[in-house]
Every structure is written in structure tokens, then in C-alpha cells.
Structure 1
Amino acid sequence: MRISALELNNALTEYIQTFPSESRLNGYLAEKYSAQYKVEIHSTLSSAVKTTEEFLWAQPGGVHWSSEFEKELFNHIVSKHPWLELSGFSSLLSFSKWLCWHDGLNA
């Protein structure tokens, strides 16, 4: 079985509602996938979250939120994680805004 982009984006939506929740993701994966696929999905999603965090932290002078910045963020993440679709990105965007508020990354 190959994990589809749709499945990854659906799992990402479960994993992140405002911030990543391991317990919510684990519950979702336990209902749908064998252990082999749970590890692969979790690793894939964690990598996308890490890419997002690194990009936000790397912004000189902080994050200047705008529709242009959101497009730039999406393009950056999808260049490293081509399975990402707008449906999954909305979860990463929600997390990004929370992280920037929480960690003081807003410009």
C-alpha cells in the first residue's frame, strides 16, 4: 500500500488543529493504518512541521504576515513535501500563526 497525498493531508488535518497533537494523530492512525504505515505517516508529517518551523524561525526581523508571505510559506513547504495540498496547508498555516504568536516570531 502506498500512502496517497489525500491520506497524508487528511492525517495532517487531524494532527494539527491549532498545534500538533501526538495523541490525536495516534488515535486517528490507530483507527486506519497498520503499524508500518503509522510510522511512515508520522515521520512524513513531523518532517513537514519541522520544515515549517525552520522557515518561520529563519525570517529576518520576524514574520510579516500577508497573503504573499502565506504563498511563499506554502511554496517553500511544498518544494520539500510535494504531497502537501491546500487542505493540509491550512493546518500548517494555523500552527504557524499560533507558533509565531506563542514564540514571539511576529514582526
Structure 2
Amino acid sequence: MTTTAADHTGRHQHSTAHEQTAPTLVAPALTAPMAPAPMAPAPTRTPGSRLDAAEDFPEDLTALGMADLQVLHSRITRQLDHDYLTDPAGPHPATMDRSVELAAELDARDTA
């Protein structure tokens, strides 16, 4: 059996007895307003993103893991950038030496 009914647009829908379709009503989802997440304490910035010439530097770079070596290299690189931008005399000689040492250690590990 086939029936015909007009929908809300005036068009006709055809359905058979086996495929009777009723309009589906979907209610908007009710959601509660989200509570603000608890504030985590601000992380301390020790160590900073740069390594000043006065700060400690490991004597044996081979004892460091690769991740620690990369972090140290990043901090020295940021210190060099900072010094070039802020000091007319350029970076501190100790920072320059540290940069060379780190580059040599990273190169050694790349070729190993």
C-alpha cells in the first residue's frame, strides 16, 4: 500500500506500509554551562629560557642525555640571540665558548 502526504513545504511524500516514516523531532541538546577549570599554579621559570655566562654549565657534556643536551643548546642559543640584540659588545666570551662546545658535542652524536 502506498500513501501520499504533504509535508510542511507542500511537497508530497510517498511511503509504503513497510516504510512508514514519521517525522523525527530532534530537541536541542541541553547542556549546563561549563564551570571554569581550576587554575593550576603558574610554573616557575627556573631555569629560564636563556643561560647567562654566570650560571653553571656542565663540565662533561657527554654525560648528558640527548634531550638535556638539546635544552642546553636551546638556552645558549637564546642567550646568544639576547646578547647580540641587547649588548653592543656582543655575547659574553663564555657564552660563545659554550655554544662551540655544544655544537661539537651535537655533531659528534650525529656522526656516531
TM-score (norm 1): 0.31
Between Structure 1 and Structure 2, the one with more strand by share is 2
Higher relative contact order (CA 8 A, sep 6+): 1
Between Structure 1 and Structure 2, the one with more helix by share is 1
If you compute each CA radius of gyration, which structure gives the higher value, 1 or 2? Answer: 2
